[in-house]
Amino acid sequence: MPEAPHDVLEELYGAPLDEFVALRDARAKELRAAGRRDEADAVKRLRKPSVAGWAVNQVRRRDPGAIEGLMAAGAALRQARAGALRNATREEREAVSDLVDQAARILHEAGREPSSSTIDDIRETMHAAAIDERARELVAAGRVVEPMQAVGFGVTPGGRREKRRHDERAREERRLTKAREALRAAQAEVRDRERELRTAERELHAAERDVDKARAALVSARERLERRESELADARGG
């Protein structure tokens, strides 16, 4: 199956993450217009990297020497015998830690605050690159799409990362349930306040009617008083 041109791959996986899709589609369109339909289709199939994958790819482009150091540490770890295994493991972990720090800085510079799960994905991908051939190829080429995880001396896209995502989904569901309960409680309180308001409005209207009646009675009483005073004055004058 035809592959995407190397220069296009380098451009896409080195570009800002938010520009990947538009740039990919534009390059595929250009290749198709040039009659390179198979290559255009290959470019169109390229997947946008995850945040962790993009960060790993940028580390490879900014500091290829550090990636080579990771590969060397991984080779030493794979070949280490019992006596040298501890030192080899420590060196591999230090190399991974340095690269994770670089990736985090790159994400900060790009305006993306890395979550703890993203940092974990980057760390696991770097560790996978140290001990697994396929992961090593993808990281060395700077074309990581999804995080990878090493298991022993192999690599899998699942493992702890899938468990962590399952746990995150469970936490989200619990938060959603609590939010729904809080919403129902707030709606019930609103209904209670609306009933109280309607009751208060009815009482207010009744009180206003009583005031109007009292005002009319007062006017009538004043009129009667004025008539009596007038009648009294007439009687005295007579």
207 membership: H or E segment, kind and range: helix 160-237
pLDDT on residue 83: 67
Q: How far, in Å, CA of 13 to CA of 63, rounded?
A: 15
Predicted confidence band of residue 2 (pLDDT cuts 50, 70, 90): confident
Q: How far, in Å, CA of 89 to CA of 91, rounded?
A: 5
What is the rounded average pLDDT of the residues 6-26? 95
- Beta partners for 155? 150
Q: Is the dihedral of CA 112, 113, 117, 122 positive or negative?
A: positive
Tell me which range, 75-79, 81-85, 144-148, 224-228, is most confidently predicted by mean pLDDT: 144-148
136-183 pLDDT tens trace = 999 999 999 999 987 655 444 444 555 455 556 666 667 777 777 788
pLDDT on residue 170: 61
pLDDT on residue 158: 47
CB contact set of 66 (below 8 Å; sequence gap of 6+):
59, 95, 98, 99, 102
